[in-house]
Amino acid sequence: MNKILYSILFCFLFFATVVEAGNPDRQGEAGAYELLMNPWARSAGLHTMTTSMIMGVEALRLNPAGLSRINGQTEVLIGHARYLEPTDVKMNAFGVGQKVGKNGTFGISIMSLDMGEIDVTTEDQPEGTGATFSPNFFHLGLSYAHMFENKISVGITFRAISESISDVSAFGFALDAGVQYVTGPKDNFKFGISLRNIGSRMSFGGQGLSFPTENPDGTLSYDITVNQRSAQFELPSVLNIGMSYDFNLDADNRFTILGNFTANSFARDQIGVGVEYSLKENFMIRGGYKAEVGLSAERDFEQSVYSGLSAGVTLEVPPKKGSNSRFGIDYAYRATQPFSGTHNFSVRVTL
């Protein structure tokens, strides 16, 4: 037991020294902020604060250690979200988790953003040229998690990041790592730490950053093409620390409370609480509240988009009586400021 506690303490101290957190003066200086977007409905219903209790493929977006806790041998998850209604921005995601051996689990996850068609405008035609373009934001993650004696699990995710339009693109890599610890008479106390989005700096390049200009020499008059270099940007690193406790009211009813702290490298820190009720693990309803640390009422306009309430519901049943397989549908709503909130939908199959 002491070795496990020392391991958790070491991970916490290591993560805390790596991340320079809670710096609102640097807000907006990072890039690839879609790394912080959550396409999965079950964790979105608790404002992505389930660092300690998240499990299965969904954990690949928050704490990869939870990948090792899928209920079956294989889990397939499909997610769709309508982001910041009515902006018409959509998130689409797909993930698969597969147990390997007694304690190992591999996972793969894909997420993309659909921003629709955007009109091309120029200085000469500010109302539009008649052409359109669609930005591409794409993430591919490869993960592995390992469980030790059903008490402590560790996980890691390597993620490739691609952002592009027709003539400009950026590419980078990010690393997520996490730990979960479970204890109690019925494994009802859970503790988790995750460090996300540690990786390479990114910068945009491509033909779209080239422009014609006159020969700077001045001796001869002719045009040349100059490539303009864009500035590099960092990834939005975050550290999550969470705890949860399950109150098993009887064999069928579970009530869970949780708390979570998020340390942001490029924004204010956030803290939140949530509750979840489960009936036979077939029907679940949940809700959460998240707030920013150190935000005064006078500067309320500076709060992040996801501050306030969230809620969600899950229906998960076996396809047929006596089957070990499970089929689940999740929905979540997160209030946003501004706009009219984000809606998440997920479909999960466990075999």
Q: What is the 3-state secondary structure (H, E, C) of the chain?
A: CHHHHHHHHHHHHHHHHHCCCCCHHHCCCCCCHHHHCCCCHHHHCCCCCCCCCCCHHHHHHCCHHHHHHCCCCEEEEEEEEEECCCCCEEEEEEEEEEEECCCEEEEEEEEEEECCCEECCCCCCCCCCCCEECCEEEEEEEEEEEEECCCEEEEEEEEEEEEECCCCEEEEEEEEEEEEEEECCCCCEEEEEEEEEEECCECCECHHHEEEEECCCCCCCCEEEEECCCCCECCCCEEEEEEEEEEECCCCEEEEEEEEEEEECCCCCEEEEEEEEEECCCEEEEEEEEEECCCCHHHHHHCCCCCEEEEEEEEEECCCCCCCCEEEEEEEEECCCCCCCEEEEEEEEEC
Q: How far is CA 97 from CA 1, 105, 298, in A?
A: 29, 7, 46
Q: Are 197 and 139 in contact (CB under 8 A)?
A: no
Total residue count of the chain as it appears in this document: 351
Cα(54)–Cα(263) distance, integer angstroms: 18
Residue-averaged pLDDT of the chain: 88
Looking at residue 6, its pLDDT comes to: 47
> Higher confidence at residue 304 or residue 2?
304
> What domains sit in the chain, N to C, each tagged with a CATH number?
2-200+235-350 (2.40.160.60)
pLDDT tens by residue, 256-312:
999 999 999 888 899 999 999 999 999 999 999 999 887 765 566 567 888 889 999
- Of 107 and 122, more confident: 107
User: What distance in Å separates the CA atoms of residue 336 and residue 204, rounded to the nearest whole number?
Assistant: 30
Within 8 A by CB and 6+ apart from 137, the residues are: 34, 112, 113, 115, 162, 163
Confidence label for 3 from pLDDT (cuts 50, 70 and 90): low
From CA 71, how far away is CA 326, in angstroms rounded? 9
Q: Are 294 and 303 in contact (CB under 8 A)?
A: no
Question: Does 120 have pLDDT greater than 50?
Answer: yes
What confidence tens digit (pLDDT) does each residue in 47-102 have?
999 999 999 999 999 999 999 999 889 999 999 999 999 999 999 999 999 999 88
Rounded Cα gap, residues 95 and 346, in angstroms: 11
Q: What is the rounded CA–CA span in Å between residue 316 and residue 284?
A: 8
Does residue 243 have a pLDDT over 90? yes
**Poorest-confidence range of 59-68, 195-204, 219-228?**
219-228
Question: Which residue type, as a one-letter code, is found at position 75?
Answer: E
Report the largest interatomic distance among the alpha carbons of the chain, rounded to a whole angstrom.
Answer: 89
